[in-house]
Amino acid sequence: MGWAFELSAWFALVEGRYEQLIEFAQAGQSIAGTGSAGVQLILQEAKGWSRLGDHKQADAALNRGADMLGRMPVPDHPEHHFVFDHTKWIFYASSCFVWLGDNDRTEEHAAEVIAKHARPDGTSNAPMRTAQARINLGIVAARRGQLDQAVAYGEGAFEYERQSLTALVSSSADLDNILQLRYRGEQLARDFHDRHLHIRRLIESGELGRP
């Protein structure tokens, strides 16, 4: 039942229903207790507060999630979808911080996500997380006036396996929005906008399914 609430929270997140996201996440926590579902529900709540710009509540939820995670045993199979580990907390925290406008903590956590999942050959063993981290770094770069770097991070995120793109497109919209707001007349910003729209159309047409 805890995971059922988490799924409802996830849909609310991607559909922009942030107050409902928080309601689902809090309701699920009362059922899930201590465990992977409980931590993920707390982090979903943190995402909701972050999207609403509530720094205090978001930080409190992130800290509660970290505390619960610290009381759990290290998982044998952290790659399992229904297992929450420390690396996933870092991944979730990076997104919370970018939505809160905390550039320094976003950069710190996103860089750690990329480093922890990097294989010796330069590929990633968690392409969705790595791609999302690159989008977050792109947003930070755009805020700092680094257009070339922002677009490079964003374009790089699209190079990962196709199944990752569906969940990524809502985040790439955040990067696209800031690029269009600050650099509308720049060719690099237009090129990224066209790439983002192309991928979104592929998803809407059904050529790219939800992972």
- End-to-end CA, the chain: 21
> What pLDDT sits at residue 207?
65
> What pLDDT sits at residue 209?
47
> What pLDDT sits at residue 164?
53
Task: Answer yes or no: are the C-beta atoms of 171 and 135 closer than 8 Å.
Answer: yes
Crossing angle (nearest 10°) for helices 147-157 and 165-183: 160
- Tokens 């006036």 locate to 145
Mapped onto helix, strand or coil, the DSSP state of residue 118 is strand
**Structure-derived torsion over alpha carbons of residues 169, 171, 175, 177, reported in degrees to the nearest 10:** 80
CA distances from 208 to 13, 161, 162, 174, 198 (A): 20, 11, 7, 20, 11
pTM for this prediction: 0.89
Task: Answer yes or no: are the C-beta atoms of 105 and 113 closer than 8 Å.
Answer: no
Q: Which residues are 118's β-sheet partners? A: 124
Task: Answer yes or no: are the C-beta atoms of 157 and 173 closer than 8 Å.
Answer: no
Structure tokens at 197: 């729209």
> What pLDDT sits at residue 211?
39
Diameter of the chain measured on Cα atoms: 52
Residues 6 or more apart whose CB falls under 8 angstroms from that of 23 comprise none
Task: Answer yes or no: are the C-beta atoms of 157 and 165 closer than 8 Å.
Answer: no
Q: Residues in the chain with pLDDT < 70?
A: 76, 78-80, 160-167, 206-211
Handedness of CA 162, 166, 170, 173 (dihedral sign): positive
> What pLDDT sits at residue 168?
79
Structure tokens at 73: 């045993």
User: Closest Cα to residue 88, out of 118, 67, 113?
Assistant: 113
